[in-house]
Amino acid sequence: MFRYLFFTLFLSLFVGQLGAQVAISGRITDTDGSPLVGANVLIEETQQGAITDTDGQYRLNRVDPGRYTLQVSYVGYQGESQSFSVPQNGTAGITLNFRLAAQSTTLQELTVSATRADAKTPMTYTNLNEEELQANNLGQDVPYLLRWTPSTVVTSDAGAGIGYTGIRIRGTDPTRINVTINGIPLNDAESQGTFWVDLPDFISSTSDVQIQRGVGTSTNGAGAFGATINLNTSKKRDDPYFQTNTSIGSFNTLKGNVEFGTGVMRNKFSLDGRLSRIGSDGYIDRARADLDSWYLSGAYYGEKSILRFNAFSGHEVTYQAWNGVPADLVDDRETRTFNSAGTEKAGDPYDNEVDDYRQTHYQLLYDQQLADQLELSLAFHLTQGEGFFEQYKAGEDLEDYGLEPVGEVTSTDLIRRRWLDNDFYGTVYALRYTSDDDRLTTTLGGGYHIYEGRHFGEVIWARFASNSEIREPYYDNDAEKRDFNIYGKVNYELLPDLNAYVDLQMRRVSYDFVGVNNQGVPVPAGDEMSFFNPKAGIFYQISPRTEAYGSFAVANREPNRNDYTENPIGSWPLPERLYNTEIGLRHRWNKAALGANVYHMDYRDQLVLNGQINDVGEYMRINVPKSYRLGLELVGGFEVSPRLNVNANVTLSRNKVDNYTEYVDAYDADFNWLEQQTIRREDTDLAFSPSVIAGGDINFQVLPEGGDHQLALSLLGKYVGKQYIDNSSDENNVLDAYWFSDFRLQYRWKTSFFKEIGLTFLVQNVFDQLYETNAWSYRYNYDGTDLVDQGLYPQAGRNYLLGLTIGF
Cα–Cα distance, 93 to 71 (Å, whole number): 18
In this predicted structure, what is the pLDDT of residue 517?
A: 67
In this predicted structure, what is the pLDDT of residue 91?
A: 63
User: In a 10 Å sphere around its CB, with 0-12 CB exposed, 13-18 middle and 19+ buried, how is residue 400 labelled?
Assistant: exposed
pLDDT along the chain (808 residues), means of 10: 44 37 78 79 79 83 79 78 78 84 53 74 91 92 96 97 96 93 93 94 94 88 82 89 96 97 93 97 97 97 94 98 95 96 96 97 96 93 97 95 92 96 96 91 95 94 92 90 95 94 95 75 86 96 93 94 82 93 94 95 92 68 94 95 94 96 93 93 96 97 83 97 95 96 94 87 97 95 94 97 95
Please state the pTM of the whole predicted model: 0.87
Query: Helices (DSSP H) in 347-495: which residue ranges?
Result: none
Of the candidates 396, 395, 385, 312, which has an alpha carbon nearest to the alpha carbon of residue 355? 385
DSSP β-bridge partners for residue 511: 481, 527
CA atoms 722, 726, 730, 733: torsion sign: negative
Cα–Cα distance, 452 to 513 (Å, whole number): 10
In this predicted structure, what is the pLDDT of residue 235?
A: 83
Query: Which residue ranges form the domains of the chain, and what is each CATH number?
Result: 12-103 (2.60.40.1120), 241-807 (2.40.170.20)
In this predicted structure, what is the pLDDT of residue 124?
A: 93
Secondary structure (3-state) at 205: helix
Of the candidates 20, 363, 321, which has an alpha carbon nearest to the alpha carbon of residue 158? 321
What does the buried/exposed string (b/e) look like for 230-257 if buried means 16 or more CB atoms within 10 Å of the residue's CB? bbbbbebeeeeeebebbbbbbbebebbb
In this predicted structure, what is the pLDDT of residue 12?
A: 42
In this predicted structure, what is the pLDDT of residue 110?
A: 56
DSSP β-bridge partners for residue 703: 711
